[in-house]
């Protein structure tokens, strides 16, 4: 973890453009934290000062409000801790040891009964050939009202069962198969034709990807839900945000450079060349975790434990060590998913399909939680354009 930076009272007041008395008022209101310094002087948290500065600038229309970092709504779903996501009080890495995605869905959706007890729905209509899995998913979700006459329901007692049906329906759309009632990790493993060991790794990956607090796609789903858009439309909002290369398609970027790595490759030379060209290393570093991404560590540990005889897996620790030495950042969940895809020879879209499948559970959970809130999400912007004379 990075050590916090502290400012003197004069520095903090100068950065905020206020008098010391106003700074002390911010401290008393809990907006800025302080610690004891030398003598009777106190030091002030620079991160708090800059966060408050951004907030005040937005209110005064003199600058831009930071788009990351500040809590904007309350949730009981997921806490991001130093040990990774915690789903309703249960550490995701602990759940990944044995739980299925269905079990995690029941937990996150706070279901009293099993929402997956009903038989699987019918499959999506015939979709155009040549579409990737995420594009198939978008078209299938748009067609959901043809499948379910109650697609627009807001009845709480129906929504969890609808969520389970939509999850099975969506997985089938991405895999281009028929919905079935077997566990989702089994359906994915059978579609990819992989071993029992691979099936267990896929199961854990789904659990680790289920939710990550207020990420961009979850926020998009919540915005739609706050307008009382139906469940399938909220999921469409989530998948729209997910499809960007800075979010759900990020495993593709990691898989692209990882595809050129062989067990006997000179990894240091390959990555040094990349560094010298000024190219980033997708799959390393994370905007939320200042240190390691615990989800990646959990999934990579399981992969190393499960595939001891695989030459590529055996080379992974050395590859990660070199990457960290050169780029200064540890692997994230995108790299771990790309490594799973490469290890088992899965189709090129498998990593992001697994990621999306797991995250759909989170989108449904956020949608259901937002339905219970009376507020519509409607943030304000800080206008910095031209004004009338």
Mean pLDDT of the chain: 92
Residue among 322, 378, 79, 35 nearest 213 (CA): 79
Tokens of 209: 């990807």
Q: Report the share of the chain in percent with pLDDT over 90.
A: 74
Which residue in 252, 334, 349, 366 is the catalytic one?
334
Q: Report the share of the chain in percent with pLDDT over 70.
A: 95
Q: At 177, is the secondary structure helix, strand, or coil?
A: coil
27-50 mean pLDDT:
86
Task: Please tell me the distance from the alpha carbon of residue 23 to that of residue 11, in angstroms, as a whole number.
Answer: 11
Sign of CA dihedral 133, 139, 141, 146: negative
Tokens of 75: 């949730």
Q: At 30, is the secondary structure helix, strand, or coil?
A: coil
322-349 mean pLDDT:
96
310-316 mean pLDDT:
95
Q: Is 343 in contact with 303 (CB distance < 8 Å)?
A: yes
Fold agreement (6-60, 73-389) = no
Give the domain ranges of the chain. Answer: 6-60, 73-389
Q: Which helix (H) or strand (E) holds 274?
A: helix 267-276
Which residues make beta-bridge pairs with 35? 43
Which residue in 185, 212, 286, 366 is the catalytic one?
286
Task: Please tell me the distance from the alpha carbon of residue 78 to that of residue 87, in angstroms, as a whole number.
Answer: 5
Specify the pTM. 0.83
* Pairing of the two strands 6-7 and 42-45: antiparallel
Burial class of residue 128 in the structure, from the number of CB atoms within 10 Å of its CB (0-12 exposed, 13-18 middle, 19+ buried):
exposed
Q: At 210, is the secondary structure helix, strand, or coil?
A: coil
The domain made up of 73-389 is a member of CATH 1.10.580.10: yes
Q: At 228, is the secondary structure helix, strand, or coil?
A: coil
Residue 286 annotated in active site = yes
CATH of domain 6-60: 1.10.1660.10
CB neighbours of 40 closer than 8 A, spacing ≥ 6? none
What length does the chain have? 389
- Taking each helix axis from N to C terminus, what angle separates 156-175 and 101-108, rounded to the nearest 10 degrees? 150
């Amino acid at each position: 973890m990075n050590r916090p930076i502290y400012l003197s009272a004069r520095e903090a007041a100068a950065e905020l453009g206020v008098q010391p008395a106003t700074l002390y008022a911010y401290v008393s209101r809990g907006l800025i934290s302080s610690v004891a310094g030398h003598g009777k002087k106190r030091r002030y948290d620079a991160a708090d000062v800059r966060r408050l500065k951004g907030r005040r600038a937005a209110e005064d229309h003199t600058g831009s409000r930071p788009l990351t970092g500040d809590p904007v709504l309350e949730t009981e779903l997921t806490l991001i801790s130093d040990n990774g996501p915690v789903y309703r009080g249960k550490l995701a890495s602990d759940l990944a040891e044995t739980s299925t995605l269905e079990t995690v869905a029941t937990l996150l959706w706070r279901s009293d009964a099993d929402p997956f007890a009903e038989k699987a729905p019918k499959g999506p209509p015939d979709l155009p050939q040549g579409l990737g899995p995420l594009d198939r998913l978008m078209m299938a979700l748009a067609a959901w009202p043809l499948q379910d006459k109650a697609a627009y329901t807001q009845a709480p007692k129906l929504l969890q069962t609808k969520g389970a049906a939509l999850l099975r329906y969506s997985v089938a759309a991405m895999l281009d198969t028929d919905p079935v009632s077997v566990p989702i990790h089994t359906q994915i493993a059978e579609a990819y034709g992989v071993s029992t060991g691979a099936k267990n790794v896929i199961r854990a990956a789904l659990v680790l990807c289920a939710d990550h607090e207020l990420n961009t796609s979850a926020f998009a789903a919540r915005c739609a839900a706050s307008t009382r858009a139906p469940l399938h439309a909220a999921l469409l909002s989530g998948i729209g945000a997910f499809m960007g290369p800075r979010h759900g398609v990020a495993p593709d970027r990691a898989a692209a450079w990882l595809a050129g790595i062989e067990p006997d490759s000179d990894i240091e030379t390959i990555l040094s060349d990349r560094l010298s060209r000024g190219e980033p290393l997708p799959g390393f570093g994370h905007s939320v975790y200042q240190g390691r991404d615990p989800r990646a560590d959990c999934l990579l540990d399981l992969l190393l434990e499960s595939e001891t005889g695989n030459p590529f897996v055996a080379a992974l620790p050395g590859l990660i060590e070199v990457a960290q030495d050169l780029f200064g950042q540890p692997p994230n969940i995108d790299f771990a998913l790309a490594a799973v895809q490469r290890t088992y020879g899965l189709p090129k879209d498998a990593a992001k399909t697994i990621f999306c499948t797991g995250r759909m559970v989170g989108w449904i959970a956020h949608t259901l939680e937002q339905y219970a809130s009376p507020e519509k999400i409607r943030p304000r912007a800080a206008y910095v354009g031209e004004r009338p004379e």
